[in-house]
């Protein structure tokens, strides 16, 4: 079985400060990991993904994520937060095994960047 | 929201009625998906299709039906058997069934049962 957890429902950060949105996962095989962002009443937008290789993945809008196999984590980070980063963020995982089911999404983390 | 369109944006249904949500993509993607989003629960997979004329049930398929007669279209019907259909419905597509392909999402349809 595969699962993903986002332990924080809400993250608040001041504009200009670094931000971290946490994600941990559980899979049987090698994980494929994704981050998406959702603005109110909109669809999800893809930010970045980890498939293999370098543990630090860079994505859209200055976001990056660090894959940590020993801690089974894939935290989303940005060095300097913008008010416009305020949105709902989803982590998703899929087991790399061929017979694995489809993507499993976390419950989401609401990020609020305060001016 | 890329090359995926969903219609209508808002939909109101009376109890006992079937309704069909439209999803069209012009990305030439093989795989398409339907998700349901409820507050605080993330996205849950309803149905997915990896090729034309084939589709598979997801985690919460009861009360829903789909068809995939064309590569670019994957309509979802919410039947009267779905006990709690009020939700935000998201359609997505990916280039292929390969697990490392990211999914592209449409803007969503908000369904409300009156």
pLDDT confidence of residue B99: 79
Closest chain B C-alpha to A87 CA, distance in angstroms = 14
Mind listing the pLDDT tens digit for each residue in A2-23?
Answer: 899 999 999 999 999 999 999 9
| Cβ–Cβ under 8 Å, residues B96 and B30 | yes
A36 neighbourhood in chain B, CB within 8 Å: 105
Q: Residue B27's closest CA among B58, B2, B59?
A: B2
B58 neighbourhood in chain A, CB within 8 Å: 102
Q: What is the pLDDT along chain B (114 residues), one digit of tens a residue?
A: 459 999 999 999 888 899 999 999 999 999 999 999 998 788 999 999 999 999 999 999 999 999 999 999 999 999 988 889 999 999 999 998 787 889 999 999 999 998
What separation, in Å, do the N-terminal and C-terminal C-alpha atoms of chain A show?
41
pLDDT confidence of residue B2: 53
Tokens of B31: 């795989």
HSE (side-chain half, CA atoms, 13 Å) at A99? 2
pLDDT confidence of residue A39: 93
Going through A1-115 in order, the beta strands assigned E by DSSP cover 3-5, 10-14, 19-21, 24-26, 31-38, 44-50, 56-58, 64-68, 73-78, 87-95, 104-105, 109-114
Closest chain B residue by Cα to residue A99 = B99
Interchain pair A43, B4: CB under 8 A: yes
Q: Residue A65's closest CA among A111, A101, A33?
A: A33
């Amino acid at each position: 079985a595969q699962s993903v957890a986002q332990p924080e429902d809400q993250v608040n950060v001041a504009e200009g400060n670094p931000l971290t949105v946490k994600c941990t996962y559980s899979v049987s095989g090698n994980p494929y990991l994704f981050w998406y962002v959702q603005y109110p009443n909109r669809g999800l937008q893809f930010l970045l993904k980890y498939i293999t290789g370098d543990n630090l993945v860079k994505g859209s809008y200055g976001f990056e994520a660090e894959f940590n196999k020993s801690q089974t984590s894939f935290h989303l980070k940005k060095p300097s937060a913008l008010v416009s980063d305020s949105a709902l963020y989803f982590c998703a995982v899929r087991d790399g095994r061929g017979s694995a089911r489809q993507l499993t999404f976390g419950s989401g983390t609401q990020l609020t960047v305060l001016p | 929201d890329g090359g995926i369109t969903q219609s209508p944006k808002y939909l109101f249904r009376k109890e006992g009625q079937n309704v069909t949500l439209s999803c069209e993509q012009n990305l030439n993607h093989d795989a398409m998906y339907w998700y349901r989003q409820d507050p605080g629960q993330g996205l849950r997979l309803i149905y997915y299709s990896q090729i034309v004329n084939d589709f598979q049930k997801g985690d919460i398929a009861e009360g829903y039906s789909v068809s995939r007669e064309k590569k670019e279209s994957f309509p979802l019907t919410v039947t009267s058997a779905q006990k709690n259909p009020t939700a935000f419905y998201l359609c997505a597509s990916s280039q292929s069934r390969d697990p490392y392909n990211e999914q592209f999402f449409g803007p969503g349809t908000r369904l409300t049962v009156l």
